[in-house]
Structure 1
Amino acid sequence: MKIIITLRESGHLGGVVSFYKSIVPYLNNDKNKSFIFFHIGKKINRKIPFHVIMDQFRFQKKLRQLNPDIVHVNPSLNLKSFLRDGLFIYWAKRKNLPVLVFWHGWGKKFEKKIDTNLFFYWFFKKTFLRADKTIVLASDFKKKLISWGVKSDIILGTTVIDESLLEGFDINKKIQKINKSKKINILFLSRIEKEKGIFETISAFKMLLDKNYNIKLNIVGDGTALESVKRYSKAIKIPENKLSFLGYVKGYKKKEVFINNHIYCFPTYCEGMPISVLEAMSFGMPVITRAVGGLKDFFQDKQMGFSTTSKNPYVFAKLVEKLIINKSLISDIGLYNHRFAEKHFAASIGFKLLESLYYEICNTVEFNKMIH
């Protein structure tokens, strides 16, 4: 079985690349299938003129060369990905090839454009509507696809954790450190953008500092709002020794960040299935977040931390405070989250879902050939 999977080069950041990096060991061990990664978008350290157009020509050539059994595309709901990946589906269907679509990002603004713009809706019907199976990261996204006319199978999937990140991690040692620690470390790890709730996090943190709690906020990541965030933290007079900007981290440094922090705060406005939340849970951290996207489908309020529909920093401060004043609650929730993540978000689980869908698609194709 030959399967073409579209995604950006491995050196790029983002959920799609992280997902496939995590499951690559399982792909490599599957001797019954041949996985061909078709890299799209800008190349790292290489400039290719008109790469958006060239991707379409290269993709058509790859289809002719390989004649795959399945084409697997990984779009996000934004203009660029919608048009690019939609055309990939169009070329595949011109050759009568089965297509699996795995929606990773989901932009609410672009969702409204498909609802209201006749061209975008027409384009969706000519492309994504023809997919044999579709994976989404939230039940809300499934409902929207159904409203747009999708009648083929829509499966609720998940992002997965890179299991190598957890090698050597001992949840019992972390719980012991939490119980002995005099200071509580709060973590915000994400792209530094307004929509991720970074300003709400800082405002809530300042409210807690004003109550003289022994706490520190560690902000990890990079983004367009970083300088604004630094100016804002100075404007509201957060002491430098209480706030750290650690930049973008990966590998061992990322592991250290998760081990050394106690509470994960993520008041995001809109999400698919944020990998940072799953990673924080894996490292035994209670999560304070908003009930959006895929989080609504699995997050157990009070059992995994606290979830709210509010964007009010005061609400987040009160939720974080419940943990600060009760270390045993941090430990109990952390242990529960670690075990839950091991069971539900391992890379092997993500691979098994894909594997089952590949077989279902191929079996359906073979059955249709027999009856025709």
Structure 2
Amino acid sequence: MLRILMLTPDLDTPGGVSGLLATLRDFFSVGVEYFTVGKRLHESSWFAMFRRFLGDIRRFRRTLDASHYDVVHVNPSLEFKAVIRDGVFVILARRAGVRTVVMFHGWKSDFEASLKGWRLCVFKRVFAKADAVLVLASELREKLEYWGFSAPITVETTAFHDALIRSDTLDQKLRRRRGEVRLLFFSRVERTKGIYETLDAYAMVKARRPLVKLTVAGSGTALDAAKQYAADRRLPDISWVGYVQGREKARVLEDADVFILPTYTEGLPVAVLEAMAFGLAIVTRPVGGLRDIIIDGQSGYLIEGKDPAAFAGAIERLIEDPDLLEQMSRNNHCEAVARFAASAAARRLEALYERLVCTHCQLDP
């Protein structure tokens, strides 16, 4: 059986990367061991983080010396601290003769812009020599290819737990619709996630379609300000449910019909995939991995700009055409089950690991 060493953030810390890797853990059939790197919940100072980082390096070297691993899988974001931290582990793994897989999750445009000259050369010397690279959007693959990456680059997806898949929930949702359409904003409540554009679009739709309702699920630094923004405009029928998980998250998704996310930048949020599994039509922007999975007019609508009126118009088209909304619901459910369930994502990763090991064996004398 293959042995994989998976580098992860603290899986008890809320976040997209930790949530994805914790979800995949239930579906691997190969031997995957988890090695925690990055900030821990109890750390509060730079000195503590630096000391822990040195400890992680020593622990990682001892782990590689003590056992044989076929692949080390590293999960950085394209941002300064993660690139420095995980670059060290990539170098150590390669020096130990272990094949490396690098999966870029987050992608900070300001850090990307800083990768020029010697910085880009150093970045390439470390990460371009990985045996395989995974990204969450085709535009990111194109950027790495433009930079001269020679390793195979695959566009992967995030994933949701298979336990969310329930066809009977979709049938109940479709039977329940009687002209009332419920919108869902499910993300961190931040300005850059489009919370204010969402509220403005909702106000426009609500003025013409009084039965429409909005649920905002998530926490964030803009939550209180967004609530005040809605109150100042006297927007009715908004449910602020906060951070949800487990059965409460499933209930929120079951009750919604249209997922709205006017996000400014994005990787590939799991919440969108979960919404698709629950048969929600998606109204968002063509940023990050969203442009790869949302087919305009079939999965929902992709809005090029941030104009709330454009989002309101897309939502009203769905309200006016219930047959189209139902078809999008069924399309998204089927697509999500086939591509984005954690079991499917785990099988794709295992196939990648197998290919790397087989290729290496063929090259050995």
Q: What TM-score, normalized by structure 1, do the two folds share?
A: 0.92
Name the SS of the counterpart of 2:239 in structure 1. strand
| 1:257 CA displacement | 0.1
Equivalent-residue separation in structure 1 for 2:64 and 2:231 (angstroms): 55
Q: 1:155 aligned to 2:154?
A: yes
Structure-2 residue corresponding to 1:250? 245
Structure-1 residue corresponding to 2:355? 360
Equivalent-residue separation in structure 1 for 2:312 and 2:296 (angstroms): 16
In structure 2, give the amino acid aligned to 1:286.
Answer: A
Equivalent-residue separation in structure 1 for 2:240 and 2:291 (angstroms): 29
Assess if the C-alpha contact under 8 Å between 1:137 and 1:158 holds in 2: yes
Structure-2 residue corresponding to 1:43? 40
Q: 1:201 aligned to 2:202?
A: no
Structure-1 residue corresponding to 2:275? 280
> Counterparts of 1:170-181 in structure 2 under 5 Å?
170-178=169-177, 180=178
Name the SS of the counterpart of 2:35 in structure 1. strand
In structure 2, give the amino acid aligned to 1:11.
Answer: D
Structure-2 residue corresponding to 1:9? 10
| 1:136 CA displacement | 1.0
| 1:335 CA displacement | 1.4
Structure-2 residue corresponding to 1:111? 112
Name the SS of the counterpart of 2:72 in structure 1. strand
Assess if the C-alpha contact under 8 Å between 2:162 and 2:343 holds in 1: no
In structure 1, give the amino acid aligned to 2:156.
Answer: G
> Counterparts of 1:214-225 in structure 2 under 5 Å?
214-225=211-222
In structure 1, give the amino acid aligned to 2:186.
Answer: L
Assess if the C-alpha contact under 8 Å between 1:22 and 1:163 holds in 2: no
In structure 2, give the amino acid aligned to 1:272.
Answer: G
Percent sequence identity over matched residues? Answer: 34
Q: Residues 46, 311 of structure 1: CA spacing in aligned structure 2 closer, same or farther, 3 A cutoff? A: closer
For structure 2, list consecutive stretches of 5 or more residues without a partner in the other structure.
none
Equivalent-residue separation in structure 2 for 1:288 and 1:168 (angstroms): 22
Assess if the C-alpha contact under 8 Å between 1:90 and 1:126 holds in 2: no
Greater alpha carbon shift after TM alignment, 47-56 vs 261-270: 47-56
Equivalent-residue separation in structure 1 for 2:36 and 2:290 (angstroms): 29
> What's the CA shift string for 1:63-85, capped at 9, x where partnerless?
22223221110111111111111
Q: What TM-score, normalized by structure 2, do the two folds share?
A: 0.93
For structure 1, list consecutive stretches of 5 or more residues without a partner in the other structure.
none
Assess if the C-alpha contact under 8 Å between 2:105 and 2:267 holds in 1: yes
Select 1:231's aligned residue among 222, 228, 244: 228
Structure-1 residue corresponding to 2:103? 102
> Counterparts of 1:1-372 in structure 2 under 5 Å?
1-27=2-28, 30=29, 33-44=30-41, 50-114=51-115, 116=116, 118-167=117-166, 169-178=168-177, 180=178, 182-239=179-236, 242-370=237-365
Equivalent-residue separation in structure 1 for 2:168 and 2:158 (angstroms): 21
Greater alpha carbon shift after TM alignment, 321-330 vs 346-355: 321-330
Name the SS of the counterpart of 2:153 in structure 1. strand
